[in-house]
Amino acid sequence: MKKNLALLLILALLSTLFCFGAGAEGLTGEIVISVGSDWVDESKAQGKSFMDAVRAYEEANPGVKVTAQGASQQDIKESFQTAALAGGGPDVVIMDNSGHAIDLAAMGLLLPLNQFISDDELEATYQPGPLNSGKFEGVYYSVPWYLDCCGLYCNTDYLEACGLSIPETWEDLDNCLKVLKENGYGGIITYKSAYAFYSFFYQNECPVIDTSGEMPEVVIDNEAGTEAWNFICKLITEDNGLVESFKEATSWDKVYESFANGEATFLLGGDWCKSGINDVGTSVNYAITDMVMGKTRATVLGGWTWNINVNTKYPELAYDFCRYMSSPETYDILKATGKHSAQTSWDVPSGLSEENQDLVVLGEQFPYTMARPSIINEKTIDEIITNAILTVVYGQANAEDSLAAMAAELRANIAANYDI
Amino acid sequence: MNKIASKRDRANIVAYCFVILMTFIALSPFIYVVLTALKHPEQIYNAAEIIPSYITFDNFKNVLFHSRFLRYFANSVFITLVTMSISLVLAIMAAYGLTRYRIFGADTLKLTVLMTRMFPGILLCLPFYIIMRSLGLIDSYVGLIAMYCSFTLPFAIWNLCATFAQMPWELEEAALIDGCNRFTSFFRVIIHVAKPGIMVTALFSFMSNWDEYMYAMIFINTTDKKTLQVGMKDFIGQYSTDWGLLMAAVSLSLIPVFIFFAVVQKHLVTGLSAGAIKG
Amino acid sequence: MMHISGRKRKNLEMRKNWPGYLLIAPAIIAVLALNIYPLFRGIALSFTNYNLVRPNSPIFNTFAGLSNYQRIFTDEKFLLSIGNTFKWTAVNLVAQLVIAMLLALALNKRLRARSFFRTMSLVPWAVPHSIAAMTFTFLFNANVGIINILAVRFGLLSESISWLGNTGTAFWCVAFVAIWKGIPFQMIFILAALQNISGEIYESAEVDGATRWQQFWRITLPIIKEPLAIATILNLIGIVSCFNTIWLMTEGGPLYSTEIIYTYAYRQGFIVHDLGTASASSMVLFVIMMLISAVYLRLSRGDKEGQA
C-alpha cells in the first residue's frame, strides 16, 4: 500500500514537472465531479475550456472516465451535503472557500489531503490564504483552485466633481465620504454580509477570530478590533457611508446595479464585479484599485477549491484529478475566465488576458490577502456580524453596545460548536 | 322584475371592475417578466427603460436554440404529466372508496395522510435520500415521480373526498336502476358530475410538480435529466444573473401552463350547475 | 355473546366493503410507504443530539430528551419566529380567503369574457415561486424599482427607500407577494365548489326578497363550507411552508423580521448544521399545524351535524 502511494506521489510529481505529461499512469476508474453549471455549458468560453481540460485528462489517462455534473452554484453545497450524509454523492465537488469546506470537513464528509501529499508540499505549491480556507483541526481538506481579493471600485466622475482623489487610507476614505455626503453623492455599496467588512479588521491587525490556537478565540472586541469597529460605525453613522441599497443587497446583482446607476461612489468587491458592472451597462467612469490601508495593508479573500467526497471509491484518482485541475496544465481555464490561480508560481499580469489587465491591481494584493476565519459555521459568524452592522445602520444600537452584543453572540456560538 | 334586473346590472358592473382590477394586479408582474425578456442587457437596470424603447428577440432565440431549455422542458412535461395521471387515478380510487364504502377509521386515515405534509419538507430531504439510495433510485425519474406522487396524493385525496361527499347518492342509485353496475355508473355519472373537483385536483397536482425545485435539485444529477425549474437556475450564476435569458425562459415555460389553465377552466362549469341533475 | 356478534357484524361489514379497502389501498400505501419513515425520522431527530458539525462528540446521535426543545425555546430568534409565523399565517390566510372569495363569486357570474378573466386570474399561480420572488424583488428595488419610481413621482415619498431592506416594510412586501401568489389556489377551489349551486336557488331567493348579503350567508356559504374548509387547510399548509418566497426575497431578514418557523428550521439545518434543533423547531410547527387543522375540521364538521 505504502509502496503504491509512494509510486503515486512520484508519478504525480513527475506529471507536474512535465506539463503535458502522461499524468499518473495506471490510474483507472470512474469519477463524478459536481461543478457550477457555467463550467459544463460548452456554448461559452468558460465551459468550453473547462470541458476541454477534462477531456485532456481522460485522454492522458486511458482507464479513466470523468463525468461532470453541473449544479446551481448556490445549491452545490446543500445537495452535496445531503447526498454525502446519506453515503452517496459525487466523488469530487468544487466549493466556495467561504467556510463550506470547513463545515463539510467537520461533518466528516471530506477526505483529508495528508494521505496524498505532505503539508509542506501543499504549502510550497499553493498560496496560504486559500489553503487555510480548507484547514480544519490542523489538517488540509481542500485543493485551492482560484482566488480573488476584495478591492475598491471608485466612481471617478463623482470624485472629480468633488475635487477628491482616490482614497488610499482610512482617513482618506472617511474624508471622501464626508465631502461626498455634503455634495449629495452616495457612499459605499457592497454585498450584505460581513465579507467586505472583514478587510477593515484585518487592516487594523485584528483577525476577528483567532484560529491559531487549539480553540478559536473571539478577538473582535480587543483594542484593535474595537478601533476597526468604531471606524466602520463612524462611516455608517457620521458619514452616512452605506447607501440605501446595501440594506437589500442579498445578491451581487443589486451591488452592481447600485454602483452602475450612480447611487454609490464606492463598491467593495472582487474581480467579478467588473463584468457585473459592465453587464448592467453604465455611463459612469470608474477606477479599480486596491483596498484602503489602515495600520497595515490587508484585504479579504474569496475563490473556489476542489474537495474529495469521503464516500469516493477512487480516492487516488479523485485527488489526482483535483491536483490536475488546479495545476498549471489547466491555466487556460483561468485565462478564459479572468481568474487567478492559487498556485504560488502564478504570475498575475501574464495570467490575465488582454482585456482584464485592469484587474492586475487586485491580483497584486495577494501577498497580504487573508481568508475569512476558518471556523465551523462561518456563515453563522457572518450573519452575526452582518446583523450587528444592520443594528448600527438602523440606529438601533451605538458602536459600543453593538460590539459588546456581537462579541457575546460570537463567543456563545463558538462555545456551542467547539467545547465538549 | 325590472328592479331586480337593474340591481343585477349594478352588481355586474361592480363585479367587472373588481375582476379587471384583480386581473391587472395578477398580470402586471408577468407583463414585467415578458418585457424584461425583450430587453437588451443594458436596458434591464435602466429606470427609463421600464417599458423598453427598442426590443430584441435574441433572448428567446438563445433560450430556444442555444441552451438545453427544450430538453429540460420536455423532461418537466413528462414528469409532471406522469405524476399527475398516477396521482389522479390513485386519488379518485381512494376518494371513491373512502366516501362510498364504510371504511374502518376512514377519518383517522385521511388525517394521517394529510399529517405527512405538515412537517417542513426541506428537513425530510435527508431521510428521503436514504430511502431512495437503498432502492437505487437516485438520479432516476422513477424515484422522483414516486416522491412527487406521495407529495400530491394527500391533497388530491382530501379534495376529491370533499367533491364526492357532496354528490348526492341518488345520482348513482338512479344510474344503478338504469342498469349500470358500479363501475359503469362511476364512469358515466360520477366522473362527469365531479368534473370541477377532478379538474381542480389535476390542476393542483400539475402546478405543484411543475413548480417543485428542492427535490428535483437534490435527487436528479445528470444534466440531461434535469427538470425545467432546476435547469432555469443555470441562468442565475453566483455573481450575476442573466435576467434576459431567465425571463425569456420563464415566459416560454408558462405557455403549457396557460394552455392547461384554459382547458381546465373550460371544464370547471360542467358540474351540477350545468344541469346534470336536471338532465 | 354481544362481543362476538359485534365482531361478526364487523366481519360482515368488512366483507361487504372490501372493494372500498381495495380502492384506497394503493394510494394509502404509496403515501405511507414513502412518507412514514422520513416523518418518524424527523420526529426522532428532534429528541436526538445531532449537531452535524460535531460527529465526534461523545453525545452525537444519542437520546437528548427535551434538550433540543429547551435550546430553541430559550433562543430569542425562535420565539420571534413563532410570533412571525402567526402574524404571517393570519395576514396571508385572511387576505387570500377574502379576496379569493370575492373573485370566485365575481367570476362565477355570467360576465362577458369570463373564461379569459378566469384564465388570467390564475397567472400568479403559474409563475414559479422563485421567479415571482425575483420579479417582485425587481419591482421593489430601491433604485430602479417601478414602485419607488411611481411613489416618488406622485410625491408619496420624498426619496426612494429599500422596501425589502427595512424592518418595518420587509414583512408586508413579502406577505404581499405570498398573497398575490396564493389567491388563485384558494379561488379555484371555491369556484369549483360554487359549481354545485344551481342558479335557480338564487333566483327564488331573490324573488323572496333576500338581500345579497343574506343569500351569501344562508345559501352560498353553507353549501361550499366543506370544500372551503379543506381548501383552507391545504392553503394553510402552503402558507406556513412558503419558504422560497421569503428566502429569496429577504433570507428571513432584515434582523429576522421575516423569519418564520420554517426559515428558522432551514437555518438550523443547513447553516447552523444542527439537525436536532432544526427538527425540534419543525416539530413545533407540525404540532401547531395539527392543532389548527383538528380544531378547524372539528368546527366545520360539528356545524354540519348540528344542521342535520
A223 touches chain B (CB under 8 A): no
DSSP character string of A260-322: HTTS-SEEEE-THHHHHHHHH-----EEEEPPPBSSS--EEEEEEEEEEBTT-S-HHHHHHHH
Question: What is the pLDDT averaged over residues B68-85?
Answer: 92
- Backbone phi, then psi, for A191, in 5-degree steps? -60, 140
> Could you tell me which of A252, C235, C53, A209 has the C-alpha nearest to residue B200?
C235
Compare CB distances from A248 to C162, C255, C273 and report the shortest one's residue.
C162
Instruction: Say which residue the cell 450524509 belongs to.
Output: A85
Question: What is the pLDDT averaged over residues C226-238?
Answer: 84
User: What band does C116 get if pLDDT is binned at 50, 70 and 90?
Assistant: confident
Which cell numbers hold the place of A13? 510529481
Residues 158-177 of B with CB under 8 A from C: 158-159, 161-163, 165-166
The domain spans of chain C are 1-38, 72-307
Mean pLDDT of chain C: 84
Query: Using a CB-CB distance cutoff of 8 angstroms, which residues of chain C are in contact with residue B155?
Result: 234
For residue C167, the chain A residue with the least C-alpha distance is A394
CB A245 within 8 A of CB A254: yes
Query: Using a CB-CB distance cutoff of 8 angstroms, which residues of chain A are in contact with residue C163?
Result: 248
Instruction: Provide the whole-model pTM.
Output: 0.88
For residue C141, the chain B residue with the least C-alpha distance is B45
For residue C143, the chain A residue with the least C-alpha distance is A258
**CATH 3.40.190.10 placement within chain A:** 2-148+302-370, 151-290+377-418
- Quote the pLDDT of residue B273: 44
Question: What is the pLDDT averaged over residues B18-42?
Answer: 89
Query: Using a CB-CB distance cutoff of 8 angstroms, which residues of chain A are in contact with residue C137?
Result: 248
| Residue A119 to residue A377: CA distance in whole angstroms | 24
> Could you tell me which of A89, C52, C28, C68 has the C-alpha nearest to residue B130?
A89
Q: For the structural domain made of A151-290+377-418, what CATH number should be given?
A: 3.40.190.10
- pLDDT more than 90, % of chain B: 15
Taking the CA of residue A396 and the nearest CA in chain C, the distance in Å comes to 11
Query: Using a CB-CB distance cutoff of 8 angstroms, which residues of chain C are in contact with residue A379?
Result: 271
Q: Domain A2-148+302-370: which CATH class?
A: alpha beta
For residue A218, list its beta bridge partners. A209
Q: Do C166 and A257 touch (CB under 8 A)?
A: no
For residue A146, list its beta bridge partners. A304, A341
For residue A254, the chain C residue with the least C-alpha distance is C141
Q: Do B19 and C121 touch (CB under 8 A)?
A: yes
| Residue C49 to residue C308: CA distance in whole angstroms | 51
Q: How many CB pairs under 8 A join A and B?
A: 84
B138 touches chain A (CB under 8 A): yes
Phi and psi based region of residue A412 (left: phi greater than 0; alpha: psi -120 to 50; beta: remaining): alpha
- Quote the pLDDT of residue A19: 40
For residue C30, the chain B residue with the least C-alpha distance is B150
| Residue A159 to residue A176: CA distance in whole angstroms | 8
| Residue A82 to residue C269: CA distance in whole angstroms | 11
- Quote the pLDDT of residue B5: 61
User: What band does A308 get if pLDDT is binned at 50, 70 and 90?
Assistant: very high
C141 touches chain A (CB under 8 A): yes
Alpha-helical (H) ranges within chain C are 2-16, 18-45, 67-73, 76-108, 114-121, 123-126, 129-140, 146-153, 170-194, 199-207, 212-215, 221-240, 243-249, 261-270, 275-307
| Residue B60 to residue C258: CA distance in whole angstroms | 35
> Could you tell me which of C127, C179, C177 has the C-alpha nearest to residue B229?
C127
Alpha-helical (H) ranges within B104-242 are 106-115, 125-134, 141-166, 169-177, 182-185, 191-193, 195-211, 214-219, 228-232
**Residue of higher predicted confidence among C3 and B24:** B24
Q: Do A107 and C166 touch (CB under 8 A)?
A: no
- Quote the pLDDT of residue A17: 45
> Which CATH architecture best describes the domain C72-307?
Orthogonal Bundle (1.10)
Query: Using a CB-CB distance cutoff of 8 angstroms, which residues of chain B are in contact with residue C111?
Result: 12, 15-16, 19
B16 touches chain C (CB under 8 A): yes
> Could you tell me which of C63, C85, C71 has the C-alpha nearest to residue C278?
C71
Query: Using a CB-CB distance cutoff of 8 angstroms, which residues of chain B are in contact with residue A69?
Result: 221-223
C36 touches chain B (CB under 8 A): yes
Q: For the structural domain made of B68-274, what CATH number should be given?
A: 1.10.3720.10
- pLDDT tens digit string along B221-252? 888 889 988 888 878 877 777 888 888 998 99
Strand pairing class (A92-96; A299-308): antiparallel
Q: Do B271 and C196 touch (CB under 8 A)?
A: yes
B47 touches chain A (CB under 8 A): yes
- pLDDT tens digit string along C92-106? 999 999 999 999 988
Confidence check: pLDDT of A52 > 80? yes
Q: Do B207 and C126 touch (CB under 8 A)?
A: yes
Query: Using a CB-CB distance cutoff of 8 angstroms, which residues of chain A are in contact with residue B47?
Result: 261
Question: What is the pLDDT averaged over residues C6-25?
Answer: 70
User: What band does C14 get if pLDDT is binned at 50, 70 and 90?
Assistant: low
B44 touches chain A (CB under 8 A): yes
For residue B127, the chain A residue with the least C-alpha distance is A86
User: What band does C169 get if pLDDT is binned at 50, 70 and 90?
Assistant: very high
B273 touches chain C (CB under 8 A): yes
Q: Do B126 and A280 touch (CB under 8 A)?
A: no
* Amino acid in the structure at residue C96: Q
User: What band does A97 get if pLDDT is binned at 50, 70 and 90?
Assistant: confident
B135 touches chain A (CB under 8 A): no
Instruction: Say which residue the cell 397567472 belongs to.
Output: C123
A83 touches chain B (CB under 8 A): yes
- pLDDT tens digit string along C36-94? 888 888 899 899 998 888 888 888 888 888 999 999 999 999 999 999 999 999 999 99
Report the residue of B261, B272, B278 to disrupt the C interface, i.e. the one with the largest count of C CBs within 10 Å.
B261
Residues 107-136 of C with CB under 8 A from A: none
B166 touches chain A (CB under 8 A): no
3-state class (DSSP) for residue B201? helix
Question: What is the pLDDT averaged over residues A23-40?
Answer: 81
Taking the CA of residue C271 and the nearest CA in chain A, the distance in Å comes to 6
Measuring CA to CA, how many Å separate A304 from each of A94, A158, B107, C276?
7, 34, 53, 30
- Quote the pLDDT of residue B122: 81
B185 touches chain A (CB under 8 A): no
CB A216 within 8 A of CB A209: yes
Report the residue of B34, B43, B114, B118 to disrupt the C interface, i.e. the one with the largest count of C CBs within 10 Å.
B118
Compare CB distances from A36 to B222, B238, B240 and report the shortest one's residue.
B238
* Amino acid in the structure at residue A186: G
Q: Do A280 and B233 touch (CB under 8 A)?
A: no
- pLDDT tens digit string along C128-160? 888 888 889 888 988 888 888 888 888 888 888
- Quote the pLDDT of residue A124: 92
